[in-house]
A and B are shown apart, each in its own frame.
Chain A
Amino acid sequence: DAGVTQSPTHLIKTRGQQVTLRCSPISGHKSVSWYQQVLGQGPQFIFQYYEKEERGRGNFPDRFSARQFPNYSSELNVNALLLGDSALYLCASSLAWAGDQPQHFGDGTRLSIL
């Protein structure tokens, strides 16, 4: 069975541009979460979506937005890119949004801002 898939794997942008990252969850999983991982640090929570509704938001500016589609795939959008947005962006999926539900991660999109 396919795991969590993310695209693209690498992306290079310049300051001020906008970017869209995509995620397909494990088949049957209805919840998708997004995390940002800066080099040398653990992942930081950005958003969680379940059944197309936002169920949680981390401490990130409004430049970050996301949505979930009827097939449970998800997009993360980042506007007005800053140098500090350079990071590995990880998507994780789980069966449900809370409780005893482990999250499984994709290999991420590596975003570099020049």
Chain B
Amino acid sequence: QKEVEQDPGPLSVPEGAIVSLNCTYSNSAFQYFMWYRQYSRKGPELLMYTYSSGNKEDGRFTAQVDKSSKYISLFIRDSQPSDSATYLCAMKGNQGGKLIFGQGTELSVKP
């Protein structure tokens, strides 16, 4: 079993839809949770970075962490074609900087 599970999709939605992306994890030592966006032939770009359980909002993006269920989510409101990319969840513990990534979810937003 992988430490971090993420549905690879692909996920296709119409422009303006609300998108929900999710990851589950098994290691209770994970303390920091991240969402990265990766466009084709580019490196991952940090979108959201959270530490504790609860919600964090930044513009059209909301990150949600539920440590009791070992479940994290990213919501994208009013999705745009420019949001079409692969979204990677990542997490790490307190010791060191090793990030554990999910497989990534490929999102396509259709005009």
Contact = CB atoms under 8 A, between A and B. Distances in A.
B88 interface: yes
Chain B at the A interface: SS class: loop
Contact of A99 (B44, B45, B94): B94
Interface stretch (B11-19, B56-64, B68-76, B99-107): B99-107
Interface residues on B, range: 20 to 34
A53 to B, nearest CB: 12
A94 interface: yes
Given A41-B103, A42-B102, A90-B43, A102 B34 contact: yes
Contact of A55 (B90, B97, B99): B97
Interface string A50-62: 1000011010000
Contacts of B94: 98-99
A107 B98 contact: no
Interface in B1-17: 4, 6, 8
Interface in A29-66: 31, 33, 35, 40-45, 48, 50, 55-56, 58
Interface in A66-114: 90, 92, 94, 97-108, 110
12 contacts: A31-B97, A33-B97, A40-B103, A42-B104, A48-B98, A55-B96, A98-B94, A98-B96, A100-B51, A101-B97, A102-B46, A107-B42
Given A90-B44, A103-B46, 4 more contacts: A43-B99, A90-B43, A104-B46, A107-B41
